Amino acid sequence: MPSPDVFAALANPVRREILMQLRQGPRGVTELASGFALGRPAVSEHLQVLRKAHLVREEPRGRERYYHLDPRPLAEVEVWLEAFTRYWKQRLAALDDLLAEKGTT
């Protein structure tokens, strides 16, 4: 059983592109697949990964199944990244301190 890891879901470029496309509104599977050099089953399986990561929501509409974007799990990635923007700013501050110290000595 594959894990419902958001980071793992984003590791594949096709899945990232699917999420990009879904920003512009819900799409059916065949509709989505037509944009890739991929068969429909492959896209359907990518959607399953995205579903397990809760990055998309499905809305059955008749015989079609529209996939909606749910960007909320991306917050986990954002939070993780913040640890590094903090790191970055910290480094810059340390550099400032170092320069200031050098200046006053």
Binding site for a copy of itself (CB under 8 A): 5, 7-8, 10-11, 13, 16, 19-20, 23, 69, 71, 74, 77-78, 80-81, 83-85, 87-88
Shortest reach from residue 96's CB to DNA, in Å: 31
**Residue 103 touches which of a copy of itself, DNA, none (Cβ within 5-8 Å per kind):** none
Distance CA 37, CA 24 (A): 20
**Residue 35 touches which of DNA, a copy of itself, none (Cβ within 5-8 Å per kind):** none
Cβ(40)–Cβ(59) below 8 Å: no
Residues 6+ positions from 17 with CB-CB distance below 8 Å: 35, 36
Distance CA 57, CA 74 (A): 14
Distance CA 24, CA 52 (A): 21
The residues that touch DNA, with contacts defined as CB under 7 A, are 2-3, 8, 11-12, 14, 28-31, 37-42, 44-49, 58, 62-66
